[in-house]
Structure 1
Amino acid sequence: MWLVYDSEEKLVLVTNSYSEALAEYKLLKNSWKDFIDENNEFNGDERVILARIEKDFYPYETDEETPEGDNYWDWRESIY
């Protein structure tokens, strides 16, 4: 599992596909380079990250319904 992070957009992508993550990383990296070259602005906190995810903790909607008819939520952790 892979993630792409951008200092402005924050978490951009989470995917099982390395090639998809790498393509998004390259796109964002080139966008930052082009922006800085064209505008001559540089703050120093511009950052794009491609990272492999080892663990992922997140909420998910269960199949169980509340008395009001909404689904219950629970937590799940995936280890890759």
Structure 2
Amino acid sequence: MASRVSLKSKGKASGKALKGSAEEKSIGESLKEWSTWALKKAKVVTHYGFIPLVIIIGMNSEPKPHLAQLLSPV
């Protein structure tokens, strides 16, 4: 009995394989892909940038606190 070889790709590779093909994506698909990419990047930026932003805003306010005063809970 001969074994069959499947040419179907699995997972994320299938989406990337279609990008190079002659088939054009619809505007809706491109918009969905772009918005998903942008939201993922925005999530990372928000995650790592929120606390430093609060510290910078706090250090530029009046009265000007020291960094230790901003970071201490009291």
Give 1 or 2 for the bigger CA radius of gyration: 2
Bigger fraction of residues in helix: 2
With the length of structure 2 as denominator, give the TM-score of the two structures.
0.33
Comparing both chains, which one has the higher relative contact order based on Cα–Cα distances under 8 Å and sequence gaps of 6 or more? 1
With the length of structure 1 as denominator, give the TM-score of the two structures.
0.31
